[in-house]
Amino acid sequence: MANQTPAPSAGLRETKKLETRQLISAHATRLFLAQGFERTTIAEIAAAARVAKKTVTNYFPRKEDLALDHQEEFATSLARAVDARRPGESALAALRRAFADSVASRDRIAGFSGRESARMIADSPTLSACVRGLHDQRARHLARSLAEATGTDADDITVRAAAELLGAAHRTLFHRVQELTLAGHPDERIARTLTAEAARVFDLLEPALADYATA
């Protein structure tokens, strides 16, 4: 009986899949930055990565998934911050602290994506619409967490209003980071500016939400 080549282990297969995913993502990013998101095709990305078009779409069902590869993390970020609030800490206080941490670490979730990436998004109607949708998703996830925290229904008007107010604050700050990035300000200067400006934004919400959803 002829010798058979043993099947690769599950660990090896997963490693290979991760490498393929990273390869496709790297080539897509290079092409998007070089010629713009809208002008780049899946076929060009596949050719650059030397894989089939079907392989690209298996890993990334939509082209925007190649440009915005942290969508789930972004959409759930505010909800996760509320879920992780400390004893005696309100939702607003937890979100305020989490935002300060994200600015300190220059987190992409807060908008620190670099000038090239910010320009790519700003120049693309598709990506700009996708980012708007992600902000909407983030508010919906936040509403569910606030509902659980307060023992109310996610459709309750107070929960919905609180989620929209908190979501709008973060949307405003995200766009401020992008605006300063596109203007050419270095991350260190943007972080200093946002630290001061975020304090003003969150202070506006204190009278209404200072004790809301306290753990």
* One pLDDT digit (tens) per residue for the chain, 215 residues: 445 555 556 788 889 999 999 999 999 999 999 999 999 999 999 999 999 999 999 999 999 999 998 899 999 999 999 999 999 999 999 999 999 999 999 999 999 999 999 999 999 999 999 999 999 999 999 999 999 999 999 889 999 999 999 999 999 999 999 999 999 999 999 999 999 999 999 999 999 999 999 99
Residue 21 is part of a domain; what is its CATH number? 1.10.10.60
Answer whether residue 2 is part of any domain. Answer: no
Residues 87 and 179 in one domain: yes
Residues 108 and 191 in one domain: yes
For 95, the domain range is 71-209
Q: What is the pLDDT of residue 92?
A: 98
Answer whether residue 214 is part of any domain. Answer: no
> The whole model's pTM is what?
0.88
Residues 185 and 125 in one domain: yes
Answer whether residue 204 is part of any domain. Answer: yes
Residues 22 and 57 in one domain: yes
Residues 56 and 101 in one domain: no
Residues 17 and 102 in one domain: no
Instruction: Supply the DSSP string of the chain, one letter for each residue.
Output: ----PPPPPHHHHHHHHHHHHHHHHHHHHHHHHHH-TTT--HHHHHHHHTS-HHHHHHH-SSHHHHH-TTHHHHHHHHHHHHHTPPTT--HHHHHHHHHHHHHHTT-GGGT---HHHHHHHHH-HHHHHHHHHHHHHHHHHHHHHHHHHHTS-TT-HHHHHHHHHHHHHHHHHHHHHHHHHHTT--HHHHHHHHHHHHHHHHHHHHHHHTTTT--
Residues 54 and 143 in one domain: no
Residue 145 is part of a domain; what is its CATH number? 1.10.357
